[in-house]
């Protein structure tokens, strides 16, 4: 037997090839394992960035505008606060090295068991209920109380005057925070930042703008948005009037003009700020969080005809509004027609705040704060009469987020996440 045996060169090459393949596989496995660990660490860190963003946003109501935070975990957070309409807008950015996450939210005031259904200012006059009028929930009434009445032979049909607890109201309505009132005045006065991009959309145009980008403007004397779709961080400002109709598509935009006319069949959401009139036609669906706001800067004419169209804010039959209605007017002048009117079969889910008289024939699912009621029937004016209208605080969902009042302590919540 030979001590040594020659091996063919091809066999040696095959052994080397197998060894090289095994080495490559081992190296690939090591790299894959290392990459997987890095990916897991990066993913976990990004999850931490998102969680930190959410945590800071939910606690940001006590932070100062533009405040910067850096934690021991290396995650830095930038918080910016501003207003978008009636809501505070929080823009929170968290970052770790090259990982960034940004979230934007509208923040308002929640409701609780102390949120009233009706708060009627004490003008030393009793509240009179007529017809199918109904008050449900915590109700603040004047010292003179509440009683049933009669209009054109129609009496009050309810078995109880109030379906809930009653308390005595004051001679002043609950007030807004000063910064919110200042924001309303700015929007009604059409104050905007300079150097913003101005758009000129044509019919059938579709315009979208993220709230992470600068605001874009549409301006004009009479702005007709028929056939135009607007979404996001956009303001529409007119020196005379803004017109919408059933072909208009709006989502989260702000409108500012002396007069705003919403035609019948409109479907969408916006925040409207006017100084003279907001008219909403029949069978509209104004989705949450819509706001209809008038800040009356001039005294009200007493000679104006007392018709349903006299109202500064008029909501027509069959229309549903989800959000808030505000009529602000601090003048002492007496008026003989309602400044806010909800027609029969019109429904608002949310809050109404009226510093003059309201004629309520429709339904409010939520809260109503008003100076007084008024009913116009057969050419007669009935002071502090609630005729056919209903206010039901208990049916409003607890998740509702709306306006903030100084004297009503509620928790701030996210009304809507923006994009």
Task: Give the pLDDT confidence of 329-364 residue by residue, as tens digits.
Answer: 978 777 788 999 999 999 999 999 999 999 999 999
Tell me: pLDDT of 275 over 70: yes
- Mean pLDDT for the chain overall: 87
Give the Cα separation of 132 and 139 in Å (integer): 17
DSSP 64: P
Most confident of 19-23, 30-34, 59-63, 367-371: 367-371
Identify the residue whose tokens are 């007084």: 372
Q: How confident is the model at residue 65 (pLDDT cuts 50, 70, 90)?
A: very low
Tokens 């806010």 appear where? Answer: 340
* pLDDT bracket for residue 409 (50, 70, 90): low
More confidently predicted of 116 and 57: 116
Other Cβ atoms less than 10 A from the Cβ of 207: the count is 15
Q: How far apart are CA 325 and CA 120, in angstroms?
A: 16
Cis peptide before 155 (omega within 30 of 0): no
Per the CB < 8 A criterion, the answer to whether 322 and 355 are in contact is no
Between residues 394 and 193, which one has the greater pLDDT?
Answer: 394
């Amino acid at each position: 037997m030979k001590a040594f045996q020659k091996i063919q060169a091809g066999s040696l090459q095959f052994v080397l090839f197998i060894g090289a393949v095994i080495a490559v596989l081992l190296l690939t496995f090591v790299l894959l394992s290392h990459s997987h660990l890095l990916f897991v660490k990066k993913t976990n860190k990004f999850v931490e960035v998102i969680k930190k963003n959410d945590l800071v946003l939910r606690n940001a109501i006590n932070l100062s505008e533009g405040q910067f935070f850096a934690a021991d975990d290396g995650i830095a957070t930038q918080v910016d606060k501003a207003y978008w309409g009636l809501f505070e807008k929080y823009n929170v950015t968290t970052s770790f090295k090259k990982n960034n996450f940004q979230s934007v939210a509208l923040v308002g005031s929640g409701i609780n068991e102390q949120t009233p259904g009706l708060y009627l200012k004490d003008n030393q006059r009793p509240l009179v209920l007529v017809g199918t009028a109904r008050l449900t929930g915590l109700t603040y009434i004047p010292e003179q109380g509440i009683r049933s009445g009669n209009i054109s032979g129609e009496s009050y049909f309810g078995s109880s005057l109030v379906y809930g607890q009653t308390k005595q109201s004051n001679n002043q309505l609950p007030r807004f925070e000063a910064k919110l009132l200042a924001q309303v005045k700015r929007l009604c006065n059409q104050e905007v930042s300079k150097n913003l991009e101005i758009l000129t959309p044509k019919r059938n145009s579709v315009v979208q703008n993220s709230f992470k980008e600068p605001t874009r403007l549409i301006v004009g004397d009479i702005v007709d948005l028929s056939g135009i779709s607007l979404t996001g961080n956009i303001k529409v400002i007119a020196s005379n009037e803004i017109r919408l109709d059933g072909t208009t598509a709006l989502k989260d935009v702000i409108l500012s003009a002396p007069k705003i006319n919403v035609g019948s069949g409109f479907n969408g959401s916006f925040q409207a700020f006017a100084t003279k009139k907001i008219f909403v036609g029949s069978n509209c669906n104004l989705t949450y969080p819509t706001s209809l706001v008038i800040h009356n800067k001039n005294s009200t004419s007493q000679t104006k005809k007392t018709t349903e169209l006299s109202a500064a804010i008029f909501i027509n039959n069959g229309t549903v509004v989800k959000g808030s209605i505000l009529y602000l007017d601090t003048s002492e002048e007496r008026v003989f027609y309602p400044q806010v009117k909800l027609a029969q079969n019109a429904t608002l889910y949310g809050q109404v705040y009226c510093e003059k008289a309201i004629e309520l024939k429709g339904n409010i699912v939520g809260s109503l704060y008003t100076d007084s009621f008024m009913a116009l029937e057969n050419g007669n004016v009935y002071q502090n009469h609630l005729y056919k209208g209903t206010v039901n605080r208990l049916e409003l969902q607890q998740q509702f987020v709306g306006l903030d009042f100084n004297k009503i302590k509620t928790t701030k919540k996210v009304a809507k996440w923006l994009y």
